[in-house]
A and B are shown apart, each in its own frame.
Chain A
Amino acid sequence: MFDALVTRARVKSPWVLHFDCGSCNGCDIETLACLTPMYDIERFGMINVGNPKHADVLLVTGTVNHRNKKVLQALYEEMPDPKVVIAIGACGLSGGVFRDAYNVVGGVDRVIPVDVYVPGCPARPEAIIDGVVAALGKLRQKAVPTAAGAGGNGRFHPRMKATGSS
Chain B
Amino acid sequence: MKNFIFEIKEGLLISLKAIRANKARSVLTTLGIIIGVASVVLMSTAIKGIDQSFQQGVASLGSDNLYIDKWAWFDNDIPWWEMRNRKNITMEDFKAYKDLAKLPISVAPSANSQRTVKYQERSVQFVSITGTDYNYINTTNLSFDEGRFFSELESNGGRSVVVLGSEISKKLFPQGGPMNQLVKIGGNRFKVVGVLEEQGSWVMGNWNPDNQVYVPIQNIFKYFVSRHSNSITLNVRAENSQMVEATKEEALGIMRRVRGLKYNEKNDFSINQQEGLLTNINQTVGVIQIAGLLITGLALFVGAIGIMNIMFVSVKERTREIGIRKAIGATRRTILGQFISESAIICLIGGMIGLAVAIIGSMVIAQFDFPVTVDIDAVILAFTISLITGILSGLAPAYTAAKLDPVDALRYE
* A joins B in a complex: no
